[in-house]
Amino acid sequence: MKRIKRVVFSDFLGTLAMGSVTTYAYWYLYYCTRNQTIVASLGALTMAATLLSFIGGYIADQYSKVEALRVIGMLRLLIIVVGLLLFLVCRPNKVIFLVVVLNALIGIVYAPLVETFPPVLVTNKKELFTVNSWVSVAN
């Protein structure tokens, strides 16, 4: 149960960070460009990635869920850190746009992966119900 709580907490923090960056990206891009089309395009790309999560489910089933979760979590962190550093150094609109798009693409695999990993870490059926509850609450 301890591993599950750690993964759920990590997912919550990662999702909160990416949600904050995405929200900031929308506001910042609109502030800089005053172009609603750019913001709408970014939102459409993010939504399209969400709709493609069934492909991510297939991909997630092909690999070790624990390893895939580790790799994708590190990729998300790397994208945020590198993107924010580039943004602070040169402040181009393209960097923040790219960070959001890359996160959306990673989310195609990440979202279904987070939903399917509990059975991998839990063997007791009674505990599985509790673990699934934790994952649902975090999501």
116: which 2 tokens?
């399917």
Please report the pLDDT score of residue 139 as a whole number.
64
pLDDT, tens digit (0-9, with 9 covering 90-100), for 28-57: 888 888 989 988 988 888 888 888 888 888
Q: Ramachandran region of residue 53, left (φ > 0), alpha (ψ -120 to 50) or beta? A: alpha
| Distances, alpha carbon 126 to alpha carbons 2, 12, 129, in Å | 15, 24, 6
Q: Please state the pTM of the whole predicted model.
A: 0.76
pLDDT, tens digit (0-9, with 9 covering 90-100), for 109-130: 888 887 777 777 777 777 777 7
Please report the pLDDT score of residue 1 as a whole number.
66
The number of residues making up the chain comes to 139
> Between 64 and 7, whose confidence is greater?
64
10-26: average pLDDT = 82
Q: What is the DSSP string of 12-23?
A: HHHHHHHHHHHH
